[in-house]
Structure 1
Amino acid sequence: MSDDPAPPRGPVPWLASVLALAGGATLLATALLTTYSVVQRWITRQPVPGDFELVSLGAGLSVMGFLAYGTVMRSNILVDSFSGWLPRRVNEVVDGFWMLVWAAVAAVLAERLFVGARETLRSGTTTMVLGLPTWWAIGLGALAFAATALAALYWVLRFMRGRG
């Protein structure tokens, strides 16, 4: 029997899982587009028009899609050099504090990205080659950071209840 706790359950972990799956699908599509563009360049000397724009949008969105899942699964890098000897409950308080800080940072980033999405929609900002509007990608980034803030708050509540 393993000492690892069961994976978290509930609506926040479910949302994080959905976002991670969407991020994975986006990353796969980005890799396939890159492969196709390189092959096309070898064969015809012409890449897929705007491939770098699509790859940059896809890569950014895929990374943001993984943030909430990484937070829910607590798969971030932990350094316990100074706290490993402390009692479990003290470590949970320390971890809860840093999760609260992460929730605040993610919430601020979500709000700023939301403002950015609204501004790019208002100004009509588009990509250079394909002329794609960019507001939707920034808006999806805002949603991903909002979900990450929720995931961090999920852990703060668990730590407060002593179920870390």
Structure 2
Amino acid sequence: MARRTLGEGKNVLRFMTGLARGMALTGGLVLVVLVILTCVSVVGRGLSTLGHSDFLQGMSQSLADLILATGTGPVNGDFEIVEAGIAFTIFSFLPICQLFGAHATVDVFTSFLSRRTNAFIITFWEIVFTGIVLLITWRLFYGLEDKFGNGETSLLLQFPIWWAYLAAFIAALVAAIVAVYCAVGRVMELTTDQRWLPRSEGAAH
């Protein structure tokens, strides 16, 4: 029975690890797209400003006209896209940070404490963090329902606001699932002295 329980625990950990890594990769891809979009928008805005500048028009009107003829300028609605995308990526990276204990920590006041005491502190904050993530996820769902019901759209691109809420909610839901697993795992580690979570890949506890 003990071996079966241990095997099932490893399967759950493997699933959670794959889920967290998948969300992180998805968030990373979205972040890369947002970076490229921002760069294109900044370059376009810069070229448009240069084309309208008195300096370039005085130096070479034909070059200024050529730049303006290309229709360069900022990407329409770039701020709206980045705002929605960043919200998604933030929640996308939470699961893997939580699972591998990669959040930044400050142990100035706890480094002198015993390993058992530190384990208790980590477990306590793990449970608190899980409660916060669950609260945020619930409020995102409430916001999703509200935005879906009132049909609110963005100012420039006119895309439904609930799209952004849905993306953030899905990522937050995964973060909540992983957070609950981590909280349970920390409690089990504290009470059984067996490792239930992967070793930290981030800041040392």
- Output aligned runs, 1:103-114, within 5 Å: 103-114=130-141
Distance in structure 1 (CA, Å) of the matches to 2:123 and 2:180: 9
What's the CA shift string for 1:23-57, capped at 9, x where partnerless?
Answer: 11111001111222233331434222111211221
Q: Unmatched 5+ residue regions in structure 1? A: 1-7
Aligned residue number for residue 74 of structure 1: 101
1:151 aligns with 2:153: no
- Output aligned runs, 1:20-35, within 5 Å: 20-35=24-39
Contact 1:102 1:149 in 2 (8 A): no
TM-score by length of 1: 0.86
Which of 6, 10, 17 is the equivalent residue of 2:14? 10
User: Hey, which of these two has a bigger chunk of helix by percent?
Assistant: 2
Q: CA deviation at 1:77?
A: 1.7
Aligned residue number for residue 116 of structure 1: 143
SS at match of 2:155: coil
Contact 2:92 2:175 in 1 (8 A): no
Contact 1:96 1:155 in 2 (8 A): no
- Opposite residue 116 of structure 1, the aligned amino acid is G
Q: CA deviation at 1:9?
A: 4.0
What's the CA shift string for 1:94-147, capped at 9, x where partnerless?
Answer: 111110000000001000000101110110011100100111211221222222
SS at match of 1:128: coil
> Which stretch of the first structure deviates more once superposed, 43-52 or 87-96?
43-52
Aligned residue number for residue 42 of structure 2: 38
> Which stretch of the first structure deviates more once superposed, 18-27 or 32-41?
32-41
Aligned residue number for residue 167 of structure 2: 140
SS at match of 1:75: coil
Two-structure CA RMSD over aligned residues (Å) = 1.9
Aligned residue number for residue 111 of structure 2: 84
Q: Structure 1 vs Structure 2: percent identity of aligned residues?
A: 32
C-alpha change, 1:89 and 1:153, in structure 2 (3 Å) is farther
Residues paired across the two proteins, number: 157
- Opposite residue 91 of structure 1, the aligned amino acid is N
Distance in structure 1 (CA, Å) of the matches to 2:18 and 2:35: 26
C-alpha change, 1:89 and 1:155, in structure 2 (3 Å) is farther
Q: Unmatched 5+ residue regions in structure 2? A: 1-11, 48-66, 190-194, 198-205
> Which stretch of the first structure deviates more once superposed, 121-130 or 29-38?
29-38
Distance in structure 1 (CA, Å) of the matches to 2:173 and 2:129: 11
